[in-house]
Amino acid sequence: MSDEDVADAGYDEWIDAVSEGEGYFLSCENDHGSLPPRRVCPHCGSLDIEETPLPDTGEVETFTITHVATPNFADDTPYAVGIARFGDVRVTGQLRDVAVEEVEVGIQVAIDVAETETTGDDLVVFRPQ
């Protein structure tokens, strides 16, 4: 865990951007997507990576409903964590605005930022479209 008073440069700006509806990812000239902070494309080693707007809609490719959590998520259980693809990049987040038992592979979602029940920390969430 990081000290609350010290930012994680690159990550915190991204969280702020997503919460304002202006999410982005890093794209290289070979159309590989990744998430900040990075200086190098992890897929091809390109140094030429730039911020590109995240597509509005993603698709859940896999998910799990977590019942046994770390202390930071103790009051959030049960919760659904999913990996969703937004164009050239995938993101991990929690499903919101949907009952956990109704989450399925293939559902269309929008990305947002919300707070955890347990600590009030920001986290990435997906809301079904």
Partner 1 sequence: MSGVRVAGVGLTAFGASPERTGRDLFAEAGCDALADAGVDRDDVEALLYGNFMGELAEHQGHQGPLMAEAVGIDAPATRFEAACASSGVAVREGVKRVRNGESDVLLVGGTERMTNLGTAGATEALAIAADDLWEVRAGMTFPGAYALMAQAYFAEYGGTREDLAAIAVKNHDNALNNEKAQYQRAIDVETVIDAPMVSEPLGLYDSCPISDGAAAVVLVSDEFAAEHDLDAPVAVTGTGQGGDLMALHDREYLARSPAADEAAEEAYADAGVTPEDVDVAEVHDCFTIAEVLALESLGLCEVGEGVTAAADGRTTKDGDVPVNLSGGLKAKGHPVGATGASQICELAMLLRGDHPNSDAVADADCGLAHNAGGTVASAVVHVLEVMES
Task: Write out the binding residues for partner 1, residues 14-33 only, by CB under 8 A.
Answer: none
Does residue 72 interact with partner 1 by CB under 8 A? yes
Alpha helix ranges (H) inside the chain? 11-19
Q: What residues have CB less than 8 Å from 123, skipping those under 6 apart? A: 93, 94, 113, 114, 115, 116
Contact map string, positions 80 to 119, toward partner 1, x by CB under 8 A = -xxx------xxxxx----------x----------x---
Shortest separation between residue 129's beta carbon and partner 1, angstroms: 19
Residue carrying the six token digits 């029940």? 117
- In angstroms, the Cα distances linking 19 to 111, 112, 119 are 9, 6, 18
Question: By the criterion CB under 8 A, which residues form the site for partner 1?
Answer: 8, 11, 34-35, 42-43, 61-74, 76, 79, 81-83, 90-94, 105, 116, 121-124
